[in-house]
């Protein structure tokens, strides 16, 4: 049988500890999904709310499912959905062969076979459901059902302190059924967007991999009026609700790029609170190259074009950061965490310059490979219990911040006393996720850098300095 009594107790304890810590609603629900799925040893978990007509599911949080799948997830028929809304526990043994599901091909692609869904009840009224998914065909036990019911009760108990149920009711009441789009929860999209080109689709896959929620062309901003009529509008390609960021992706000709820059400048003037980034051909190709894809990944690299930071400069900076950490964390229980494997040079030197006792641990995460259904996963988890500890996340370089955003969100569920970021290099110009950095060594330009642990196609890590690659193309 998957799971055991003590394992469920630990999971419930972790959920309670997460509830008692300060988290946003999104972080709390995501953490509960992760803990629940791992406790029952299943593929994933979701927390959903029905709209006021009970015909659409509104996804509040999910774990272990690709965003691509969640945006195209077929719904059970209205009668089956009504069973959950009426308060019944629903278990389906073989989803691909169940006629209530409309798209067995999509389900087979994701690999989901069985599910167990439990209603979330608030004052005898069903306000949502928590569902676990399994890639293996399995009948869920009474113990597993009771565990999930208990998790649902904890969600509702926590929601009373956060006014979750009132918030849900307010959102559902104020907006049309089946079309809820708020910073809190995202409407389920029942079909894949009609992307203009393959680059937009590739970028969506990258966002899905890092579990970053996105909407495709959700808003249009008026830019110019004549005689009271709107003459020009601008519709950014993507909106990332969690990051409150619009992204315009372009790999077009320079003339079109100039036009888009003009529109974005105008948008910023008219809507100063709107955060928007233009990702052009150079930035887009560099982003793909980071993960071994795109035209720049196959460059004929001939060596180092320029030494950006010498060995002596690096050591002076690392020593300076080590001294500052020693002062800031004197008398505290400090744990350094690094993601394998680019940071190993920086981590090793930093430890030697810190004069207070510290512990170290390492994590491994999967890498983006362009697969439509892939999602980032923890390949090596922490060995240390970080609950009650002051944690410093040590990074070699931070550019988009997508990897770090995922890892920090994960670590917060483990209830550290504090969680701060230390990075040797900061490529601020490429940032998508605006993450606060406590300790920064150097800010670097938008170039591909290697050395001191950083690689290109798994080479150059052993260089004692940090340099810019020399290639036959200028995009780096």
Active-site residue set:
399
- Residues ≥6 apart with Cβ < 8 Å to 275: 244, 245, 246
H or E element that contains 397: strand 390-398
Phi first, then psi, for residue 438 (nearest 5°) are -85, -45
Q: What is the separation of C-alpha 194 from the centre of its chain, rounded to a whole number of angstroms?
A: 23
Instruction: Report in angstroms the alpha-carbon separations of 217 from 127, 236, 264, 405.
Output: 30, 6, 15, 23
Q: For residue 129, which of 231, 56, 238 has the smallest C-alpha distance?
A: 56
- Tell me the three state secondary structure of residue 422: strand
Cβ(17)–Cβ(139) below 8 Å: no
| Distance between CA atoms of residues 35 and 151, nearest Å | 10
Q: How far apart are CA 367 and CA 356, in angstroms?
A: 34
Compute CA 148 distance to the chain's CA centroid, rounded to the nearest angstrom: 24
Reading the block at residue 288, the tokens are 């793909």
What CA–CA distance (Å, rounded) separates 360 from 362?
A: 7
CA angle 132, 58, 17 (to 5 degrees): 55
Residue 457 three-state SS = coil
Q: Are 100 and 80 in contact (CB under 8 A)?
A: yes
């Amino acid at each position: 049988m998957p799971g055991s009594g003590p394992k469920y107790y630990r999971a419930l304890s972790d959920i309670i500890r997460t509830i008692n810590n300060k988290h946003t609603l999104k972080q709390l629900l995501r953490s509960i999904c992760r803990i629940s799925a791992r406790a029952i040893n299943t593929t994933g978990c979701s927390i959903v709310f029905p709209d006021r007509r009970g015909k659409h599911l509104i996804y509040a949080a999910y774990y272990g499912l690709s965003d691509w799948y969640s945006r195209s997830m077929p719904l059970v028929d209205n009668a089956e959905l009504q069973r959950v809304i009426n308060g019944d526990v629903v278990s389906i043994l073989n989803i691909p062969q169940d006629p209530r599901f409309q798209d067995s091909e999509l389900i087979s692609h994701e690999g989901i076979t069985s599910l167990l869904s439990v209603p979330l009840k608030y004052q005898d009224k069903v306000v949502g459901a928590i569902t676990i998914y399994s890639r293996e065909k399995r009948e869920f036990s009474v113990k597993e059902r009771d565990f999930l019911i208990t998790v649902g009760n904890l969600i509702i108990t926590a929601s009373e302190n956060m006014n979750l149920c009132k918030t849900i009711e307010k959102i559902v009441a104020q907006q049309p059924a089946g079309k809820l789009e708020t910073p809190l929860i995202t409407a389920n999209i029942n079909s894949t967007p009609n992307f203009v080109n393959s680059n937009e689709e590739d970028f969506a896959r990258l966002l899905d991999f890092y579990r970053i929620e996105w909407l495709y062309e959700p808003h249009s901003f008026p830019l110019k009026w004549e005689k009271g009529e709107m003459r020009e509008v601008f519709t950014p390609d993507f909106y990332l609700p969690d990051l409150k960021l619009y992204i315009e992706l372009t790999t077009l000709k320079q003339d079109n790029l100039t036009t888009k820059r003009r529109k974005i400048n105008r948008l910023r003037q008219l809507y100063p609170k709107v955060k928007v980034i233009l990702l052009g051909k150079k930035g887009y190709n560099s982003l793909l190259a980071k993960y071994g894809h795109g035209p720049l990944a196959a460059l004929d690299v001939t060596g180092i074009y320029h030494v950006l930071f010498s060995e002596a400069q690096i050591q002076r900076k690392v020593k300076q950061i080590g001294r500052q950490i020693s002062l800031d964390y004197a008398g505290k229980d400090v744990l350094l965490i690094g993601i394998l494997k680019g940071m190993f040079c920086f981590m090793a030197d930093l430890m030697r310059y810190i004069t207070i006792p510290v512990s170290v641990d390492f994590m491994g995460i999967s890498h983006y490979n362009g697969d439509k259904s892939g999602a980032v996963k923890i390949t090596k988890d922490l060995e240390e219990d970080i609950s009650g500890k002051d944690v410093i996340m040590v990074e070699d370089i931070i550019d988009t911040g997508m990897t770090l955003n995922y890892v920090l969100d994960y670590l917060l569920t483990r209830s550290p006393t504090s969680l701060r970021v230390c990075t040797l290099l900061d490529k601020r110009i490429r940032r998508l996720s605006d993450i606060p950095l406590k300790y920064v060594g150097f800010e670097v330009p938008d170039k591909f850098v290697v050395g001191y642990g950083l690689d290109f196609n798994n080479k150059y890590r052993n260089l004692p300095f940090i340099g810019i690659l020399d290639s036959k193309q200028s995009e780096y």
